[in-house]
Amino acid sequence: MAFAIKVNGNTHSVDVDGDTPLLWVLRDVLGMTGTKFGCGMALCGACTVHVNGEPTRSCITPIDSIGTSEITTIEAIDATAVGAKIQRAWLDREVVQCGYCQPGQIMSAAALLASNPHPTDADIDDAMSGNICRCGTYVRIREAIKQAASS
Amino acid sequence: MIIDNHVSRAAGLRELSSASGLSRRGFLQAGAAAGGGLMLSLSLPFRNGEAEAADAFVPNAFIRIGSDEQIVLTMPYVEMGQGTYTSIPMLIAEELEVDLKQVRLEHAPPNEKLYANPLLGVQATGNSNAIRGAWQPLRQAGGAAKTMLVAAAAKKWNVDPASCHAQSGEVLHPPTVRRLKYGALAADAARMPIPENVVLKRPENFRLIGTPAKRLDTPAKVNGTAVYGIDVRPPGVKIATVAQSPVVGGRIRNVDDTAAKAVKGVSQIVRLDNAVAVVADHMGAAKKGLAALKIEWDDGPHAKLNTEEIARELDQGHPSFGRGGAEYR
């Protein structure tokens, strides 16, 4: 059936089964490939988007659970103040190695700062522990979050 | 893994030595780019036989300078996080005399003849040989392009090219305080003779190589615009996923795809001897279709193979070790 979903401020009508994960609607139906597939089981965090500001694993979020919620993806996170600060800090600190997990890392980090503007190391570890980086950029991620928090 | 490494390293050294005896004349080919710019392509023959058989050498990297001032560098190596998309442009920009912030990068399309790694002979990135392969030829490509741009400016001004120099994407003639941007010279530069020899800068004159640089690929990786392999979307592309025989050597006995075909978005079920693919409009439908397949496998000759069996066969295969003598368990 058709679902009307709001992504980055724009409403899209998508005709898919209700149990279709949001990830594949974003990537394959709407062509927004910034959100990444990693594991498909909410174990790695690469697919993280915001649903009404909450960091959400899109790979296990069925499209029929979205309703009128507002979805924000990596493609539009720069429109939020914390999103732009996080991206700037990511570039300043050269966080990225291969970069594949970074859209998910940035979405989790932006959600953290939005709810907790001055996180402690423990807060950062807690919020970011579900985002895996095979390159091991964790130390720079923490530094960049702290820089964004203090900027 | 260690054995593989030795093999490829030895092969790389052989290619390197075979390439080093060739003339520079064949390395460079120039032509007018669409839109009236200078296109300098660089070629490095990677096998003696081919190099001698063909008059023209196949290029493996491109510089494109448009009259619109765009300086586009085509990257023959894949960025996998090691900084290739910054270090390779540094090689070209060093000799071309442009700043890294002035260049735009494009990834090379699949074309083995144009973009083969000179050390491997195939279009591949890895084994820590992108810089080793590109070090000489990409600096030569940059230097040759700069020479032609300087020659074009000198001709326009009717001055000695030796009295001009290039800097930050411009050719300057200090005695008369004249300058022209590369883009303005691109069309004329395309008609300049290809230099027979390119004198490369001495290391003490490097202004980019050996200095820290911000990575050029990262902005696209923090805003979702970077295109990874999984993100490529050729026109009309479909999405598929595959179920393979769970046992090596196994085959399909029977597939009931009635339920899979009924999944919304599934367009085709492709049956092979040892695998079934579900083709769909999106991966959600493909995975749902795959889960709906009822596949009966014939596990084939290895159906009963297990760890104990493998251990027993190893013992039998190496009687000289004696039982327990080989530490494979």
Domain boundary among A34, A53, A75: A75
Q: Which one of B217, B223, B230 has the shortest CB-CB distance to A37?
A: B230
Q: What contacts A42, CB < 8 A, 6 or more positions away?
A: A57, A59, A60, A130
In this structure, the answer to whether residues A67 and A98 fall within a common structural domain is no
Q: Which one of A24, A34, A36 has the shortest CB-CB distance to B284?
A: A24
Q: How far apart are CA B101 and CA B98, in angstroms?
A: 8
Residue B69 to chain A, least CA–CA distance (Å) = 26
Confidence (pLDDT) at B62: 63
pLDDT band at B247 (very low <50, low <70, confident <90, very high): very high
Q: Which one of B80, B218, B233 has the shortest CB-CB distance to A91?
A: B218
| Predicted complex: ipTM over 0.90 | yes
Residue B91 to chain A, least CA–CA distance (Å) = 21
Angle at which helices B182-189 and B130-157 pack, to 10 degrees?
90
Segment B308-319 shows an average pLDDT of 80
Which of B101, B215, B216, B221 should be substituted to probe chain A, the one whose Cβ sees the most A Cβ atoms within 10 Å? B221
Confidence (pLDDT) at B38: 53
| CATH number for the domain that contains residue A23 | 3.10.20.30
pLDDT mean for each 10 residues of chain A (151 residues): 96 98 98 97 98 98 98 98 98 97 98 97 97 97 98 89
Residue with tokens 């970077």: B226
The answer on pLDDT for B44 being more than 60 is no
Query: Per the CB < 8 Å rule, is A16 touching B284?
Result: yes
Q: Is the separation of the CB atoms in B281 and A25 below 8 Å? A: no
pLDDT band at B60 (very low <50, low <70, confident <90, very high): very low
B63: left (phi over 0), alpha (psi -120 to 50) or beta: beta
- Biggest distance spanned by C-alpha atoms of chain B: 88
For domain B233-298, give the CATH number. Answer: 3.90.1170.50
Distances (CA, A) of B102 to B84, B147, B148, B149, B183: 17, 19, 19, 16, 12
Number of domains in chain A: 2
Confidence (pLDDT) at B327: 52
Residues of chain B in contact with residue A32, where contact means CB-CB under 8 angstroms, are 224
- CA B87 distance to own-chain centroid: 14
Q: Could you tell me the residue ranges of all domains in chain B?
A: 2-222, 233-298
Q: Which residue of A has its CA nearest to B235?
A: A31
Which domain range does residue A122 map to?
77-150
Tokens of A84: 């732009």
Confidence (pLDDT) at B26: 42
The answer on pLDDT for B54 being more than 70 is no
Ordered DSSP codes for A76-135: GGGGSHHHHHHHHHHHHTT--SS-TTHHHHHHHHHHHHHH-SS--HHHHHHHHTT---TT
Confidence (pLDDT) at B13: 33
Distances (CA, A) of B321 to A124, B306, B307, B312, B326: 54, 21, 19, 13, 6
Q: Is the separation of the CB atoms in B111 and B124 below 8 Å? A: no
Query: Per the CB < 8 Å rule, is A28 touching B225?
Result: no
pLDDT band at B67 (very low <50, low <70, confident <90, very high): confident
The answer on pLDDT for B162 being more than 60 is yes
**Other C-beta atoms lying within 10 Å of the C-beta of residue A142:** 18
First to last CA, chain A: 45
Confidence (pLDDT) at B63: 85
Q: How far apart are CA B200 and CA B203, in angstroms?
A: 9
In this structure, the answer to whether residues A135 and A83 fall within a common structural domain is yes
Residue A124 exposure: Cα atoms within 13 Å on the Cβ side? 19
Per-residue pLDDT tens digits for A111-148: 999 999 999 999 999 999 999 999 999 999 999 999 99
In this structure, are strands B37-43 and B59-65 parallel, antiparallel, or unpaired? Answer: antiparallel
Confidence (pLDDT) at A13: 98
In this structure, the answer to whether residues A103 and A45 fall within a common structural domain is no
Q: Per mean pLDDT, which range of B120-129, B286-295, B315-324 is the poorest? A: B315-324
Q: What is the model's pTM?
A: 0.81
In this structure, the answer to whether residues A81 and A71 fall within a common structural domain is no
Confidence (pLDDT) at B37: 52
Domain boundary among A75, A96, A122: A75
Query: Per the CB < 8 Å rule, is B224 touching A35?
Result: yes
The answer on pLDDT for B326 being more than 60 is no
**Using H for helix, E for strand and C for coil, what is the string for B168-209?**
CCEEEEHHHCEEEEHHHHHHHHCCCCCCCCCCCCCHHHCCCC
In this structure, the answer to whether residues A82 and A137 fall within a common structural domain is yes
In this structure, the answer to whether residues A41 and A93 fall within a common structural domain is no
Domain boundary among A42, A58, A75: A75
Confidence (pLDDT) at A64: 98
Segment B26-37 shows an average pLDDT of 47
DSSP state of A6: E
B22 burial via Cβ count (<10 Å: 0-12, 13-18, 19+): middle
The share of chain B scoring above pLDDT 70, in percent, equals 78
In this structure, the answer to whether residues A8 and A40 fall within a common structural domain is yes
Confidence (pLDDT) at B187: 84
In this structure, the answer to whether residues A67 and A12 fall within a common structural domain is yes
Q: Per mean pLDDT, which range of A111-125, B8-22, B104-118, B211-225 is the poorest? A: B8-22
CATH class of domain segment(s) B2-222: alpha beta
Q: What contacts A4, CB < 8 A, 6 or more positions away?
A: A11, A12, A13
Residue A29 to chain B, least CA–CA distance (Å) = 7
In this structure, the answer to whether residues A99 and A139 fall within a common structural domain is yes
Mean pLDDT for chain B? 80
Q: What contacts B263, CB < 8 A, 6 or more positions away?
A: A17, B280, B285, B288, B289, B292
Query: Per the CB < 8 Å rule, is B263 touching A32?
Result: no
Q: Per mean pLDDT, which range of B78-87, B193-202, B286-295 is the poorest? A: B193-202
The answer on pLDDT for B3 being more than 60 is no
Q: Which residue of A has its CA nearest to B81?
A: A98
In this structure, the answer to whether residues A142 and A83 fall within a common structural domain is yes
Three-class SS state of B119? coil
The answer on pLDDT for B8 being more than 60 is no
Q: Which residue of B has its CA nearest to A29?
A: B282
Q: Per mean pLDDT, which range of B68-77, B267-276, B280-289 is the poorest? A: B68-77
Is A50's Cβ below 8 Å from some Cβ in B?
no
**Kind and range of the H or E element at B244?**
strand B239-244
Q: Per mean pLDDT, which range of B5-19, B33-47, B88-102, B198-212 is the poorest? A: B5-19
> Cα torsion at B173, B178, B183, B185 (round to 10°)?
-60
